[in-house]
């Protein structure tokens, strides 16, 4: 979410507008102040509805600035290694298409690039009156064919140029001081939005890196079990291949038995391949991607991957998956990561209890007003009451060799999907982990 300074600046502007509106004045002043308030509200709505996406925010800023300053077009370019890249443009459709097609990227040495590096606002009442080498600039030549009066403001962060925002009029009509001040406010908002989103993306990238590291580490714990899961179908396939060879040696060859043995070999190869695919999808480093997911199927894939680990530790695992669950929009790999962590935590929590009492139960159920709830319950010794409030804190762990990141990452994943993850103690023993995910 965008940090408070951005919203506070807009809210202060909003309060200022309301204060001015309480004073008596001409009708045109009242109309102007109402327009300003509406523009501020539009930007606030854009921030609230798309906290991680700059495009709607930039579009709202340009729309508002263009309307309040009585401009025909507004554009925003970001300063990158390749030059000034056009990221947003608003106005008449024919003007927008011309700008978008003509110069999607401008050289830093172009007229606009040099204006940006000046770090100062630039107001050009009439583009056709420019003199010197500016007249030969390709961008200026193209701009003069579209509009006459222009206003440019560099976007700065710590006095470093991050972009330039501009307004244009198709007629010669200089912008007033008041309009320039309004535009400077919107330019400042664009600068803050850029920095806010950059930090948000950095935070998400760090979260993604941590989640990937957690998946790799978790899979590492399953090395022996995974090796068994793969070796078992390979060994069975070898036995079936040997049997097929024996049936071939018969006179005449037993084609029916050979066909059955070969079909078993194909099935065994598919089993081994499925294990490898499941591991590959969990280890692969890829950006988060939301898609419609069959939650029960995703859970069954994880339980299949952990089956050997449960058998090795004497845990009886059971599932009770509700039929007809609504499909949910989620990142399948991230959701499976949560299940993998919860299942392995449950298995490990029962290592010191009597083997006859080691039971792990996984269930799903539909919830209102629309969503699913997943539960993983173990019969271990349970958690101490003082541990429950801190269980999902980063670096807090109840394991002697734990790092305390697994559950923290799981909670961040679930919350990023609009859900909730929590734990409760069970009677007479054990722990119940539950999480909810809203449906489409």
207 part of a folded domain: no
| φ, ψ for residue 161, nearest 5 deg | -75, 125
Please, what is the Cα angle at 232 between 228 and 235, to 5 degrees?
130
pLDDT at 16 over 50: no
List pLDDT tens digits, range 176-230. 888 888 888 777 777 777 777 667 666 666 666 666 666 666 666 666 666 666 7
242 part of a folded domain: yes
* Domain of residue 161, CATH code: 3.30.450.40
Same-domain status, 61 and 194: yes
Same-domain status, 195 and 239: no
Domain boundary among 285, 308, 328: 285
Question: 0.75 exceeded by the pTM?
Answer: no
211 part of a folded domain: no
Q: What is the mean pLDDT of the chain?
A: 77
Same-domain status, 305 and 280: no
**CA 63 to each of CA 35, 167, 276, 311: distance values in angstroms, whole numbers, following the listed order:** 12, 10, 51, 62
Same-domain status, 245 and 347: no
Same-domain status, 334 and 350: yes
- Total domain count for the chain? 3
Residues 165, 143 contacting (CB under 8 angstroms): no
Residues of the domain holding 260? 222-285
List pLDDT tens digits, range 277-322. 766 666 666 666 778 888 898 899 888 888 888 888 888 899 999 9
Higher pLDDT, 72 or 20: 72
């Amino acid at each position: 979410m965008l940090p408070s300074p951005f919203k506070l600046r807009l809210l202060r502007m909003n309060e200022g507008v309301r204060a001015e509106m309480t004073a008596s004045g001409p009708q045109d002043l009242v109309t102007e102040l109402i327009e300003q308030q509406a523009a501020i509200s539009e930007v606030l709505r854009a921030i609230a509805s798309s906290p991680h996406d700059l495009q709607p925010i930039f579009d709202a800023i340009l729309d508002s600035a263009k309307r309040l300053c009585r401009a025909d077009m507004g554009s925003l370019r970001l300063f990158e290694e390749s030059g000034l890249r056009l990221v947003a443009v608003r106005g008449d459709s024919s003007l927008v298409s011309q700008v978008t097609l003509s110069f999607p990227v401008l050289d830093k040495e172009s007229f606009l690039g040099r204006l940006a590096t000046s770090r100062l606002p630039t107001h050009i009442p009439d583009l056709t009156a420019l003199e010197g080498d500016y007249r030969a600039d390709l961008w200026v030549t193209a701009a003069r064919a579209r509009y006459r009066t222009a206003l440019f403001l560099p976007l700065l962060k710590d006095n470093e140029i991050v972009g330039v925002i501009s307004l244009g009029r198709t007629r010669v009509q200089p912008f007033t001081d008041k309009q320039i001040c309004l535009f400077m406010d919107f330019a400042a908002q664009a600068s803050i939005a850029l920095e806010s989103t950059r930090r948000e993306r950095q935070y998400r990238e760090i979260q993604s890196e941590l989640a990937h590291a957690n998946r790799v580490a978790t899979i590492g714990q399953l090395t022996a079990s995974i090796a068994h899961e793969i070796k078992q179908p390979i060994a069975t396939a070898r036995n079936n291949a040997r049997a097929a060879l024996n049936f071939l040696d018969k006179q005449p060859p037993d084609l029916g038995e050979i066909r059955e043995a070969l079909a078993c070999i194909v099935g065994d190869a598919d089993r081994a391949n499925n294990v490898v695919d499941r591991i590959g999808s969990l280890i692969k480093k890829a950006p988060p991607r939301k898609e419609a997911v069959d939650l029960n199927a995703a859970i069954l894939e994880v339980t299949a991957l952990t089956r050997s680990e449960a058998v090795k530790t004497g845990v009886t695992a059971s599932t009770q998956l509700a039929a007809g669950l609504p499909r949910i929009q989620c990142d399948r790999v991230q959701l499976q990561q949560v299940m993998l962590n919860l299942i392995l935590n449950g298995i490990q929590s029962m290592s010191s209890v009597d083997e006859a009492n080691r039971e792990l139960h996984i269930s799903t159920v539909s919830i209102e007003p629309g969503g699913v709830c997943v539960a993983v319950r173990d019969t271990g010794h349970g958690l101490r009451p003082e541990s429950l409030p801190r269980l999902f804190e980063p670096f807090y762990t109840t394991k002697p060799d734990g790092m305390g990141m697994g559950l923290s990452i799981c909670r961040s994943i679930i919350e990023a999907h609009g859900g909730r993850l929590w734990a409760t103690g069970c009677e007479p023993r054990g722990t119940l982990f539950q999480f909810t995910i809203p449906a489409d």
